[in-house]
Amino acid sequence: MARACTIGIDYGTNSVRAVVVDCADGRVLGTHVSNYPSGDQGILLDPKQPHLARQNPADYLDGLRDSVRGALAEAARDTAFSAESVIGIGVDTTGSTPLPIDAAAQPLALDPRFARNLAAHAWLWKDHTSALEAAAITETARTHNPELLAPIGGTYSSEWWWSKIWHCLNVAPEVFDAAASWVELADFIPAVLAGVKHPNEIVRCVCAAGHKAMYSETWGGLPPKSFLTRLDPRLAALRDRLYDSALPPGSPAGYLAAGWATALGLRPGIPIAMGGFDAHYGAVGSGVTAGTLVKIIGTSTCDCAVAPSTERIADIPGICGIVDGSIMPGFFGIEAGQSAVGDLLKWWVEVVCGGDEARHERLSTEAASLAPGQSGLIALDWNNGNRTVLVDTRLTGLLLGQTLHTTRAEIYRALIEATAYGARAIIQRLREYGVPIDRVVCCGGIAEKNDLFMQVYADVLGQPMLIAGSPQTPALGSALAAAVTAGARAGGYDDWTEAQSRMTTIKQKRFEPRPAASAVYDALYAIYRELHDAFGGVPEAKGELASVMKRLLAIKERALGVTA
C-alpha cells in the first residue's frame, strides 16, 4: 500500500505551524511556520486596556494557506512524497478564542464596517478584559445553577467563552448585535476548510464546548436560557443562534472544499478532523492514555489526563474541567494547569536579575550544584495566580527563608521547586479523586532543554519524568486525529490507542527520582502545603506557620551537614 500521510495544523499564540506526517510511524515529512503579521507578534493590543488581547482573523486564513503549502513543499523535496497521499487534515488552536461571525459564517472583522473595531476580532485566550463578567457568572451559577460549575472546577474564568461574549455585549453592543453567531477558533478553521457557508453548518467540538462554554449533555447542551437570562436576556436570545450539540474527536468536522483543495494542492473531499485545543491534541501526540498525565510545560503549564468514560468519575474540586470526549472519544478528558512556570523563571532572570538567555543558563548550572533543601528557601508559584487547584487569579507570589547570604541562583532553584510543588498538588488532587497517575510525560521547550528542571520534578513528584518524542506534539496530535478520522481503509487507523502506539514516541532520555532528594522534598512539600492552604484560603487549612522558618533552617542544616 502507498504511504498515507496527514496534515496537522497548530494555531499558536504568535504563529501557525503545519506539519505533514507519515501515518505509518508519525515521522514528520515537512513542516512550516507562518508568523501572524498583525499587531505585536500577532496580538492586537490597546494601550488604554492592558488586559486586552485580540487577533486578526485574516492572519488565520493567510497563515492557513501559507503554512500548509510550505509544509507540503518541504515534504515534496522527497520525490517519494505526493500530495495525493494526504488522507486527512487535523486542526488544533488556542482557546477559549471566540470570534463573532456573520450570517455567511465569515468573521465580522473582515467586514470593512468592523475592521477597526477590536471587539469584532478574535478574543485571544489570554484576553482578560472580562474579569467582572466572569465573577458575575460564577456568582450567579453558585446561587442558581451550581451544577454548571461542577465539571469546570467550581469557578468560571475571564478567559472563557461566555465571559468574553458578555463583555462584548457590554462594551461593544454594535458588534454583539451584528454577530449572527460566535465560534471558537478550534471550530472555525475546520469550518473554513469545509467551505461552510452558514453558522448552523459549523460542527462544534465538545472540547471547547465542555471546557469553556458550560456545555453538557446532562442539562441538554449549553446552559439553560433561564440561567443566561439572569446574566442578560440578550445572551439567552443568542443561545438559539449557537449550537445544540457538540461532538468528540473522531467523527469528521467536514470534508475539504474544492476551493481550499485547489488552493492547497490537496485532493478535495478528504476528511477534516474535529478541531481541538492545542493542549488536548498535544496530549494525544504525547501518548496520553488512562494512567498517564501529560504536562505541556511552557510559559504556563497545561496538564491533561484521561479516564475511561465507562466509569463515572466524581467532579474534582479545583480541576478546570472534566469533559466526556474532550480529548479522545471514550474517555473523560481532564484538564488542569499552572498559570506561571516558564514565565516565573523568566521574571526572575530577566525582570529582577536583568539577565538574558546566557544568564538563564548560568543560573541553571549554579542552581544545579545545590543540594535539595540547602538554600532554606520555599516559594509559592503564584506570581500569576493559581489555576489548579485553587482557581484564583487574585493570588500572588511568596518567597520565604531568605537570609543576608541568599543568592539569586538559590532563588532561581526555589522558584523551579515551587512549580514542582504546584505540579505535585495537582497530581495529589487527581489521585485523591480516583484518577490514577502512573506515568508522567512532559513536552514543551522547558522539558526539552532544562535538565535541572526535569530532575527537580522527578525528585519532587517521586516518579520518573518522561519526555515526548516529538517537539511539536500538538501538530502531531492533530495529524493523528486526522489519521483516525480518515480510518484504516484510507490508510489511517480505526483506533486511537493503536494510532498512538504507531505515531507517537517517548525519548530515551528520562529523569529518575533520587530517593534521598525525594525524602527532602517530601518534607519541603509538607511546608509548601501549609503555606498553600493558609494563603490559598483552603477552609480546612492546618499547619504551624510559627515553626515554618525554623523547620526550613533545620532542613537546610541537615542538607549542609552542619549543626546550628
* Contact set with a copy of itself (CB under 8 A): 131-132, 340, 343-344, 346-347, 351-354, 376, 382-384, 394-408, 411, 534-538, 541, 545-550, 552-553, 564
Q: In angstroms, give the least distance from the CB of 177 to a copy of itself.
A: 26
CA distance 466 to 508: 8
Q: Based on CB atoms, which residue is closest to a copy of itself, 434 or 537?
A: 537
CA distance 484 to 6: 10
Q: In angstroms, give the least distance from the CB of 148 to a copy of itself.
A: 23
Could you check whether the bond before residue 96 is cis, i.e. omega within 30 degrees of 0?
yes
Q: In angstroms, give the least distance from the CB of 168 to a copy of itself.
A: 19
CA distance 162 to 132: 12
Q: Based on CB atoms, which residue is closest to a copy of itself, 243 or 382?
A: 382
Q: In angstroms, give the least distance from the CB of 340 to a copy of itself.
A: 6
Q: Based on CB atoms, which residue is closest to a copy of itself, 255 or 347?
A: 347
Q: In angstroms, give the least distance from the CB of 551 to a copy of itself.
A: 10
Q: Based on CB atoms, which residue is closest to a copy of itself, 116 or 394?
A: 394
Cα 321 to its chain centre, rounded Å, is: 12
Q: In angstroms, give the least distance from the CB of 541 to a copy of itself.
A: 7
Whether residue 438 contacts residue 487, with contact meaning beta carbons closer than 8 Å, is answered with no
Q: In angstroms, give the least distance from the CB of 373 to a copy of itself.
A: 14
**Nearest-5° Cα angle at 80, 77 to 86:** 90
CA distance 472 to 96: 21
Q: Based on CB atoms, which residue is closest to a copy of itself, 250 or 385?
A: 385
Containing 174, the helix (H) or strand (E) segment is helix 173-178
Q: In angstroms, give the least distance from the CB of 321 to a copy of itself.
A: 24
Q: Based on CB atoms, which residue is closest to a copy of itself, 58 or 131?
A: 131
Q: Based on CB atoms, which residue is closest to a copy of itself, 379 or 475?
A: 379
Containing 329, the helix (H) or strand (E) segment is none
Detail the DSSP E strand segments found in 62-115: 86-93, 98-101
CA distance 176 to 174: 6
Which residue, among 87, 72, 85, has the nearest Cα to 18 in the 3D structure? 72
Q: Based on CB atoms, which residue is closest to a copy of itself, 233 or 445?
A: 445
Grid cell listed for 388: 489548579
Q: In angstroms, give the least distance from the CB of 380 to a copy of itself.
A: 9
Q: Based on CB atoms, which residue is closest to a copy of itself, 7 or 395?
A: 395
Q: In angstroms, give the least distance from the CB of 563 to a copy of itself.
A: 8
Q: Based on CB atoms, which residue is closest to a copy of itself, 83 or 353?
A: 353
Query: Identity (one letter) of the amino acid at 119?
Result: A
CA distance 282 to 477: 6
Q: Based on CB atoms, which residue is closest to a copy of itself, 236 or 538?
A: 538
Other C-beta atoms within 10 Å of 283: how many?
34
DSSP 469-538: S-S-HHHHHHHHHHHHHH-GGGTS-S-HHHHHHHH--B-S--BPPPHHHHHHHHHHHHHHHHHHHHHHT-
Q: In angstroms, give the least distance from the CB of 418 to a copy of itself.
A: 12
CA distance 555 to 552: 5
Helix (H/G/I), strand (E/B), else coil: 172: coil
Which residue, among 64, 61, 65, 63, has the nearest Cα to 107 in the 3D structure? 61
Which residue, among 428, 465, 474, has the nearest Cα to 447 in the 3D structure? 465
